[in-house]
Amino acid sequence: MILGRLNHVGVATPSIADSIALYRDVMGATAIGAPFDLPAQGVKVCFVDTPNTQIELIEPLGADSPIRAFLEKNPAGGQHHVCYEVPDIHVAKAWFEEKGLRVLGEPRIGAHGTPIFFVHPRDMGGVLTEIMATPKGAH
């Protein structure tokens, strides 16, 4: 396993519109993507670009969104996960599993259109960790 760049920090929010206003008007973000639905993952997503990484705003989509429980515990929203790039998603998955860490599901296409998987926060020092295949042509 080769640890790549920090691709994004995932931030759960009850309202992407309110969070966009915060990042734009308070934090001075100038590159904010259009929000889009990711029905397969049960979330609406919006990327805010910073000079060296992105913030991934995630809002629940549908009744059984996987981030509903998080927002019940954190009604104002909060930092939800961090995402690192790796050169090979399958090598990375096998690496974590070999070490006995809990990989949550099979690699699937994430918000960047590249394969991703999550590693259980209890096996990652309390941090829900997303592992993403480095996007083609990136960087």
Question: Annotated active-site positions, please?
Answer: 130
Could you tell me which residues come within 8 angstroms of residue 77 by beta carbon, excluding any fewer than 6 positions away? 11, 12, 13, 14, 19, 71
Shortest Cβ 75–Co ion spacing (Å): 21
Residue 46 vs 83, nearer CB to Co ion: 83
Shortest Cβ 81–Co ion spacing (Å): 6
Site size for Co ion, by CB under 5 A? 4
Is 85 near Co ion (CB under 5 A)?
no
Residues 120-139, interacting with Co ion (CB under 5 A): 130
Is 56 near Co ion (CB under 5 A)?
yes
Is 10 near Co ion (CB under 5 A)?
yes
Dist. CA 41–CA 108, nearest whole Å: 10
* Angle, CA 114 vertex, CA 112 and CA 120 arms, to 5°: 90
Q: Are 139 and 5 in contact (CB under 8 A)?
A: yes
Position among 83, 89, 128, 133 found at the interface with Co ion (CB under 5 A): 83
Dist. CA 20–CA 67, nearest whole Å: 18
Q: Which residues bind Co ion (CB under 5 A)?
A: 10, 56, 83, 130
